[in-house]
Structure 1
Amino acid sequence: MDRKLKVLISGTGFAGQGHADAFRAFGVEVVGIVGRTPNVVSEVAKKMGIPYSGTDWQKALKECQPDIVSIATPGGAHYEPIKQAIEFGCHVFSDKPLTDTGESAVELYELAKAKNVKTAFASSFRYMPHIQHAKQLVANGAIGEPVEAEFISHFNLERDIPFGWSHRKEDGGGRLNNNFTHMISIATSVIGEKILSIIGEVRDDLGKAPIVEGVHNFKTRRDHIPKDLNDPSLKWGESNVEWSYTVLAQLESEFATKPVSVLFKHGGLVPKFQENHIVFYGTKGAIFIEGHYGMGPLYIYGENKTWEEVPIPQDIADNQPKIEGDTERNWHYLVREFVKDIRGETVAPYQTFKEGSLYQQLIDLIRKNDNWTDVHHLQ
């Protein structure tokens, strides 16, 4: 493919602007951006030097004639734009979650297959350097056969963050959509892509949040917390989605003779006492990575029975886009692979709507919260 590829962006916030930067970095022309609010989308387009801006997605598809669309809005707003883009024949790069239900996510996956368009699903923290190092170590037998893993994270999010999409299931909110999608992606990247079984429990321990006008950027929503939460004129919105979850999964691994047990424990509103972390345990050792998404450093427990810090191998470091910010760098990494694939170059497998639709089905199952066994009669 010799001609320059064109991308149309859906979403004007942190993700939309980040996606636009990533596509530009790899030679794709950003031909337009679409958002809900006319003055906001116009300002962002002007700031970023994007020639077309508007609020009508279908019109933008027709007028911009993109090869690729990039979906950077909350998950509840993904279904229609993605469906329209697929029907238009566009390749689709979508942030997580793919949609707000497993059924609609599967529909989009099937539509994309039928239309023969390429898709990318950005549960992209699997590209963190220390995660890639762990994958390499497990594959090379550094811990023997993997037997179990644990993903522990407590975020201590402010309870009074203004009410918005993250509080609503129908808008793609919830910690499963916005945390677990990354965690399960990391786990499968290191251990093996096939998920055999899953069980889980969720809890909404927030209840409500203040309604505040003018919050356009998810990254700066904390700045809009009302100063007087006891103001009688303040309006409140009701949360209908989980802020904490516990999930246990079994993964198949080519490096193990038995299924690998994986524990995911996330508390969105509770503080951590020790560092959030990821651990992979094997028959001959273990790998410990500090940070909820594997920020590092990485330690190995081996034959000498002590934990030793191990630096990132040079080949992994050299393959990372030279971008500040973990989220932004991971977008750049996946966009690079996606664009290469569209251009006909050989790339390593990356996550597509296949994984996006699978994860959404898993989230639906976990949210049923019907895994409990009543034992009060035994006492």
Structure 2
Amino acid sequence: MSRKLRVAIVGAGQVAETVHASYYLSREDLELVAVVDSHAERASEFAAKLGIPHAFSDAGEMYRQCQPDIVSVCTPNRFHHQHVMQALEHGCHVMCEKPPAMTPEQAAEMRDAARKAGKVLAYDFHHRFASDTQLLREQVVAGTLGEIYVTNAKALRRCGVPGWGVFTNKALQGGGPLIDIGIHMLDAAMYVLGFPAVRRVTAHSFQKLGTRKHSGQFGEWDPKTFTVEDALFATLEFQNGGILRLETSFALNIAQQSVMNVEFCGDKAGATLFPAHIYTDEDGQLVTLSQCEVADDNRHFKSMQAFVDHVLGAPVSIADAEQGYLIQQLVAAIYLAAELGTSIDL
């Protein structure tokens, strides 16, 4: 029997515990051997809580002592590039939280390093792994929707500024809701559409509520240190003539507490993503062609499973380094278009 693959986690935060460590500990063919965090006490507490044998505050020391095969990078966005590159240099396969990095240039370097090392680099764009997303992608390929010419992606919160971590710190995160939650619906939409080439990007960014309020559904934050956008709206024009409209916010005066969904409009049929529902019109009446009663919420598990199975050689799809680079390109173009107040040609 083959030996268990050794796994380490860099960054001892919430997602590291609830998603990455939780999944790795569920598999008998993996051994979670180490956790790294710049705060030694946090790393030690994380390791003790989950029964991980080694805790470090220095990643270099962890690689020397533990020699992992797989590394999860769960640090703030600013450090993704550094930690992914370090893991690849030590011959590890890498699962990195989104976004890939702070810039497209960094994402490209990470992609190229993974190719050179012959290692798997995946990103946790977990919404594309929902059965809903897979169903819609299959139906788009089959031509059920026809030509999709309008896509509306929404990742909106009425007052959902994260009260923990560094989500309101632009220097560490690179941005606000776009790079945190909007990127998820952008990726899901692009995946379903088959990553069509983008011709032009237009965007408008706002900071109206995050610097005035201080509490919401996810706790409190300091409005004095709120340096990210609290809402952003963008339009992507595709080379094929279609458009994708993206709306995302941490704070926006809408009726719903939150909206995370994508709507596709084709010339044969339309669809919404969560839960998957494909429909058309016949003489003014809505006709359902296919429907899931409840959205698949096992997305994180399926994302992690796909990554590990891919590392083990299974022919499964992952959110790979090339697609991560393409999404990072779009995020950068959206932010630039918003900053300049003009359209950006790609």
Whether TM exceeds 0.5 here: the answer is yes
Q: Structure 1 residue 205 and structure 2 residue 196: aligned?
A: no
Q: How much does 1:55 deviate?
A: 1.0
CA contact (8 A) 1:34 1:56 kept: yes
The aligned counterpart of 1:23 is 24
CA contact (8 A) 2:178 2:249 kept: no
Q: Structure 1 residue 273 and structure 2 residue 255: aligned?
A: yes
Q: What are the equivalent positions in structure 2 for 1:119-268 lying under 5 Å apart?
A: 119-158=121-160, 162=163, 164-172=165-173, 173-199=175-201, 200-206=203-209, 208=211, 222-223=218-219, 225=220, 237-251=224-238, 258-268=240-250
CA contact (8 A) 1:85 1:92 kept: yes
Which one of 48, 51, 54 corresponds to residue 53 of structure 2? 51
Structure 1 CA distance for aligned equivalents of residues 176 and 4 of structure 2: 38
Q: How much does 1:308 deviate?
A: 4.9
Structure 2 CA distance for aligned equivalents of residues 352 and 152 of structure 1: 23
Residues 209 and 92 from structure 1, CA distance in 2 versus in 1: closer, same or farther, beyond 3 angstroms?
A: farther
- Segments of 5+ residues of structure 2 without an aligned counterpart are none
Amino acid at match of 2:306: E
Q: How much does 1:339 deviate?
A: 1.6
The aligned counterpart of 1:312 is 292
Structure 2 CA distance for aligned equivalents of residues 39 and 121 of structure 1: 27
Decide which moves more: 194-203 or 14-23: 194-203
CA contact (8 A) 2:230 2:252 kept: no
Aligned length: 334
Q: TM-score, normalised by structure 2?
A: 0.85
Identical residues among aligned pairs (%): 25
Residues 104 and 297 from structure 1, CA distance in 2 versus in 1: closer, same or farther, beyond 3 angstroms?
A: closer
Amino acid at match of 1:20: A
Question: What secondary structure sits across from 2:71 in the alignment?
Answer: strand
Question: What secondary structure sits across from 2:233 in the alignment?
Answer: strand
Question: What secondary structure sits across from 1:165 in the alignment?
Answer: coil
CA contact (8 A) 1:11 1:72 kept: yes
Q: What are the equivalent positions in structure 2 for 1:340-351 lying under 5 Å apart?
A: 340-347=309-316, 349-351=317-319
Q: How much does 1:243 deviate?
A: 1.9
Q: How much does 1:211 deviate?
A: 9.9
Q: TM-score, normalised by structure 1?
A: 0.79
Structure 2 CA distance for aligned equivalents of residues 261 and 109 of structure 1: 27
Structure 2 CA distance for aligned equivalents of residues 209 and 11 of structure 1: 31
Which one of 291, 294, 301 corresponds to residue 280 of structure 2? 301
Residues 155 and 350 from structure 1, CA distance in 2 versus in 1: closer, same or farther, beyond 3 angstroms?
A: same
Structure 2 CA distance for aligned equivalents of residues 311 and 44 of structure 1: 41
Question: What secondary structure sits across from 1:33 in the alignment?
Answer: strand
Structure 2 CA distance for aligned equivalents of residues 187 and 236 of structure 1: 32
CA contact (8 A) 1:163 1:210 kept: no
Amino acid at match of 1:279: E
Q: How much does 1:79 deviate?
A: 2.1
Structure 2 CA distance for aligned equivalents of residues 35 and 103 of structure 1: 26
Task: Report the RMSD for the aligned CA atoms in angstroms.
Answer: 3.0
Cα distance per residue 1:212-265 (max 9 Å; x no partner)? 9xxxxxxx9934x38xxxxxxxx764333222111212346xxxxx43311111
Cα distance per residue 1:12-48 (max 9 Å; x no partner)? 2221112011123343211111113222221221111
Residues 271 and 221 from structure 1, CA distance in 2 versus in 1: closer, same or farther, beyond 3 angstroms?
A: closer
The aligned counterpart of 2:62 is 60
Residues 45 and 269 from structure 1, CA distance in 2 versus in 1: closer, same or farther, beyond 3 angstroms?
A: same
Question: What secondary structure sits across from 1:202 in the alignment?
Answer: strand
The aligned counterpart of 2:307 is 338
Q: How much does 1:109 deviate?
A: 1.8
Structure 2 CA distance for aligned equivalents of residues 211 and 283 of structure 1: 45
Amino acid at match of 1:280: F
Structure 1 CA distance for aligned equivalents of residues 135 and 300 of structure 2: 18
Cα distance per residue 1:253-297 (max 9 Å; x no partner)? xxxxx43311111232014336834211111221134xxxx2x26
Runs of 4 or more, structure 1, over 6 Å off, are 209-212
